[in-house]
Amino acid sequence: MALGIDIAAAILIVVLSIVGYRRDVRRGIAALGGTLLGTTLVDFWGSQWGVQLAEWFGGGNPQTFTLVVSIFTFLLAVSLVGYGGGMFLGTSKDKPTSSRRFIGALLGALNGALVTGYILRFVTNNDPNFQNIQDSFVVRWLIAGLPWVFLAFTVAVAIAVTIRLAMQLTSSTGPAKPKTPIPPQHPMRPAAPPPPAQRMPPTTAPPTMRPPQPNPQAGPQNQQQKTVMDKINNHNPTQK
């Protein structure tokens, strides 16, 4: 039986590692949050709901009902809140890099170890018939090492946050970079107005040639000249 438990625990951890590799880091963190929420719900309500169900079903074994309620509540929170809540994060447009996939696989393996460890703890704490499963290597490692896993995870996150803050403070308090001089800007000149439109002179028709008209005063003048010439000829004796 111990060997079967080891194989089942190893399969669960490997499967959740593959799931974490295919998902992004945000969804891996959400899965961890669902696992921790499930453990909190079981811690607060598992024993109360188990005793209440034992009373409803005619005085059954409270530990058995507590085990069933604890496992059901825990797996419900892990599946719906942890892995199902990732759909609210949306789809990332950027393709995940190899480093992000590796981190996602680590988060998946950690979540698989937590899920397996908590289920085994629920079983060993509420069912005396399963005390012999503690002979399993995986069970001993998960149950004894689960507190150390949380401690190591907390210390790692604290160190990462401290390094990040130190880098930000160092970059903000470093030597100021010389400011590049701003080239002088010439005042903006108003744009020249467009040249006025040239107007074409109006076209005039050429003057029409009119025939010469007779001078009305020319007739009397010729008559007077003729009269004068007649008088001269009459007084000239040589012509007679």
Alpha helices in 77-180 (DSSP H): 98-126, 137-172
User: Which of these, 34, 106, 115, 27, lies nearest to 71 by C-alpha position?
Assistant: 115
Number of neighbouring beta carbons within 10 Å of residue 237:
6
Whether 2 and 131 have beta carbons less than 8 Å apart is answered as no
Q: What pLDDT sits at residue 76?
A: 92
Whole-prediction pTM value?
A: 0.61
Q: What are the 10-residue block averages of pLDDT along the chain, 240 residues in total?
A: 76 88 85 90 89 83 87 91 81 76 88 87 76 67 76 84 88 63 62 66 58 55 68 58
Radius of gyration of the chain measured on its C-alpha atoms: 56
What does the DSSP 8-state code read for residue 184?
Answer: P
Residue-level pLDDT at 143: 72
Question: Residue 240's pLDDT is what?
Answer: 44
Using CA atoms in the order 19, 21, 24, 29, what is the torsion angle rounded to 10 degrees?
Answer: 70
pLDDT at 213: 57
- HSE, side-chain direction, 13 A CA sphere, residue 58: 0
